[in-house]
Amino acid sequence: MLNKQEKDMPSRLIVAGTDTNVGKTIVSSLLVNKLDAHYWKPVQCGDLDTGGDSATIKKLSGIKENRIIPEAYRLKMPASPNQAAAAEGITIDKENLKLPNHAGALVVELAGGLMVPLRDDWLQIDQVKVWNLPIVLVARSGLGTLNHTLLSIEAMQNRNIRVHTIILNGEKHEANYRTLREIVSEKIDIEELDIQPI
């Protein structure tokens, strides 16, 4: 997906992670450039003083400000969205999480993992189902990734969410790559990167 041309590569997709700090923003920046896409981080929790992930995307990809769609929520606390919103006395409204009215290529980067609560009654994966875009799942390459990655895939498959690609990020771990290749459907591409999260 990142290193080759694909006829079936979606131009609108979601970058999800098996955890926080697995490299979603780096992968998002690579995809923004590859697809010549706009970027949207619906919910930013913490790092507001540095501009959050949108500022990192701008720095890494070199895209212009007009290709970065403003966040629906910019929350001060580096925590799950439900907790960060509660700390500011607000509740995340699903109506504010509608996909941007943008017809071209779009990369949507989630806040943390799929099962992170946006509200106490609405998980991030529930919102992903509403958006109905294919997923690029970013996971660590090393020890622990099999459980986190397979649980994430199972959660998406149980909701009929299409997983397009799994990206294992970090020092190469051939045994984990082979194990995932054997277990997951042939319809899911698996790639390896060795880029440390920022």
Structure tokens at 37: 């896409």
The active-site residue, picked from 7, 24, 41, 98, is: 41
Q: How many residues does the chain have?
A: 198
41 annotated active-site: yes
Residues 58/123/14/113 CA torsion (nearest 10 deg): 70
Per-residue burial over 56-92, b = 16 or more CB atoms within 10 Å of its CB, e = otherwise: bbbebbebeeebbbebbbbbeeebbbbebbbeeeeeb
CB-based contact 108:131 (threshold 8 Å): yes
Point out the residues that are catalytic. Answer: 41
